Amino acid sequence: MIEHNLVRATIIPEIVKILCGYYNISEADALKRFYESATGANLADEETGLYGQGSLHIAGLFIMEQDGDIDLSRL
């Protein structure tokens, strides 16, 4: 069984890449914004099971948290 930390370590760079493109920001800024968000906290929380979701889904949750909606043309 894959450790949850390993799963998170694998999907977080993918999430950051999506956020960089969506918001046109640096990797450092995307990572900081993600880790400071409720979505980032939920990903770190074992109880939510969010680590089992795909990077695009999690990035979408972050975008919804930040903007309230997703502009699909920016993905």
How does pLDDT run across 23-53, given as a tens digit for each residue?
999 999 999 999 999 999 999 998 999 999 9
User: Contact 68/24 with Cβ under 8 angstroms?
Assistant: no
pLDDT higher than threshold 90 for residue 75: no
- Whether the model clears a pTM of 0.85, i.e. scores above it, the answer is yes
The residue extents of the domains of the chain are 4-74
Instruction: Please tell me what DSSP assigns to residue 69.
Output: S
CA angle (43 as vertex; 47, 6 as ends), nearest 5: 95
**CB-based burial label for 55 (10 Å; 0-12, 13-18, 19+):** middle
Instruction: Please tell me what DSSP assigns to residue 1.
Output: -
Percent of the chain scored above 90 by pLDDT? 83
